[in-house]
Amino acid sequence: MINELKDPRKTFGEAVLEAAGSNHNIVVLSADSSSGSGLADFLKKFPERHFEFGIMEQGVIGFASGLATTGKIPVFAAIAPFVTARPFEMFRNDLGYMNQNVKVVGRCAGLTYDQLGSTHHSIDDIAIIRTIPGVTVINPGDPVTIKKAVHAMIDHVGPCYMKIGNLKMPVLYPEDVNFRLGKGIVMKDGHDVALIGTGTVLSKAVGAARLLEQEGVSVRLIDIHTIKPLDRELILSTAKEIGKIVTVEEHFIAGGLGSAIAEICSQECPVKMKMIGIGDHYASNGPYEELLGKYGLQPDQIKETIIKFLKNK
């Protein structure tokens, strides 16, 4: 039901369990992390396909690579920075360079581990993982698309990184939404500005679009759930048709969704852009909604930023 709040980790775990029922190659690897990743039921139902490793994320990525060489589809979920920044070289060499069919899921991503501080925030994962050739990077923005993304990444042959949050998030889509990897979703059409959101703050972009419409600003609202491969066609047509793009992400401005879009637009269709995200500093700690407010990621703040952006000719 639209706007119903759902737990992203639980949703993720249910989707993996569902996929594993029909796909017997799916195995789950845990770095002392399955229970916190919504995968406790997988362990109960498929104990012979669940492998515990303890807290050794580098080792798990290597084991996942080796398992994939035998046709298994390893799913490895743990706290986002510990499956991306920490084992980056293993991700790059053992999964990317070896092109292994492994699904790495960073949970409690972005700032959703709010008060645990910068060691536990993951606001650089998109930047670093999207540098690895051949890795699909997925950042779904609601429970419905998390579920669809799990099935899509299992069906996709190749290394994937998916990030999800921690706190309950609102349903934004009907169950029958058309979700395809690499294809953005136009949530609402408009002509004054393109507002492009991703992941945990997609709902904030939705809220901002609603506020902007109330003030007479026509917004094309786009969900880019797949950061890589990026939907070039949609980005370029939007740049051409609207000419003004604002990106919203719970990530460093450096290297994130806005950067990825700018890499295309700056070369093929330069347009005015505004990137809303976190600057070149470690994020602070505190209650999640207040943290988002500190970085201008609440709907009213996004709205204000966009109004200023539109006035600044």
Partner 1 sequence: MNSKEILKLEYTALKIRRNILRLIRAGEAGHVGGALSSVEIVTALYFNLLNVDPSNPKWPQRDRFVLSAGHKCLVLYAALAERGFFNVSILDTYGALDSPIPGHPNMHKLPGIETNTGALGHGLSIAGGMALGLRMDKSQSRVYVLMGDGELAEGSNWEAASAASMHKLENLIVFVDRNKLQISGPTIEVMSYEPLDERWRSFGWSVRIIDGHNLESIISNVKQAPFEKGKPSVIIADTLKSKGLSFAEGKVSYHYWKAKPEEMEQAELDLDNIEKQLKAKMERIGL
Interaction site with partner 1 (CB under 8 A): 27, 48, 51, 53-54, 56, 58-72, 74, 89-90, 93-94, 97-99
Phi and psi, residue 156, nearest 5° = -75, 135
- Roughly how many angstroms between the first and final C-alpha of the chain, as a whole number? 40
**CB of 86 vs partner 1, minimal distance in Å:** 11
**CB of 138 vs partner 1, minimal distance in Å:** 23
**CB of 66 vs partner 1, minimal distance in Å:** 2
- In the bound state with partner 1, the residue whose beta carbon lies nearer, of 99 and 284, is 99
- In the bound state with partner 1, the residue whose beta carbon lies nearer, of 73 and 242, is 73
- In the bound state with partner 1, the residue whose beta carbon lies nearer, of 53 and 309, is 53
Displacement of CA 160 from its chain's centroid (Å): 11
- In the bound state with partner 1, the residue whose beta carbon lies nearer, of 58 and 284, is 58
**Nearest in space to 214 (alpha carbons), one of 299, 91, 92, 123:** 299
- In the bound state with partner 1, the residue whose beta carbon lies nearer, of 31 and 217, is 31
Residues in a beta bridge with 43: none
Pairing of strands 73-79, 136-138: unpaired
**CB of 76 vs partner 1, minimal distance in Å:** 11
**Nearest in space to 36 (alpha carbons), one of 87, 107, 109:** 107
- In the bound state with partner 1, the residue whose beta carbon lies nearer, of 12 and 46, is 46
**CB of 121 vs partner 1, minimal distance in Å:** 24
Query: What whole-number distance in Å separates Cα of residue 206 and Cα of residue 161?
Result: 24
- DSSP codes, 64-121: HHHHHHTT-EEEEEEEHHHHTTTTHHHIIIIIIITT---EEEEESTBTTSGGG-TTT-
**CB of 90 vs partner 1, minimal distance in Å:** 7
Helix H or strand E encompassing 293 = helix 288-294
